[in-house]
Amino acid sequence: MNILNKLDEKDHEILNILQKDARTTNADLAEKIGLSTASTLERVRKLKKLGIIKSHHTKLDHHKLSLTTSSIVQIRLHSLKKENVAAFKSAIDEISEVIECYQVTGDTDFFLKMVTTDITAYQQLLVEKLSTIEPIKSIRSAIILTTLKENSPLPIPNTMLNAIQEASN
């Protein structure tokens, strides 16, 4: 059974509110969706049990932490053999400046998002750490100039809601 079929409009509201502010209290959440605090708490617990809510995070301002240089790095490995991918993953897990990593299709094998204090620190990271990872064949970088959109809430499919609306028409 599709997990979306277990969600109703109130569940969608909860997810949308918590994506925008995970610190919303249960009392505030209950007031916003028009349910009792007990019902709201039970719904949140259900969403956690279903694995839809995975965790709660605190977003830090990287500029205030002097991490002013962000980059997107394209990585190509010599081959995608299991041991190469495992060695690459193990190596980047040790580099704290790599804050995201995605395996992708196409001419690039991985995209990394990295943060450093400045371009000199980025160059040092590239030379001393990233380029020493054995399975890497090529590295291409792009420095991020400005961020236009980030951390947007996930668009939660309204499969169940659409079915209900269609049935009532």
For residues 138 and 91, membership in a common domain is answered with: yes
For the ranges 3-17, 133-147, 153-167, the lowest mean pLDDT is seen at: 153-167
Confirm if 112 and 92 have CB atoms less than 8 A apart: yes
pTM above 0.85, yes or no: no
Mean pLDDT of 126-136: 97
pLDDT digits (tens, 9 = 90+) for 42-83: 999 999 999 999 998 888 899 999 999 999 999 999 999 999
- Scored b (16 or more CB within 10 A) or e, 109-119 reads bbebebbbeee
For residues 53 and 100, membership in a common domain is answered with: no
Task: State whether residue 78 is helix, strand or coil.
Answer: coil
What range does the domain containing 113 cover? 69-143
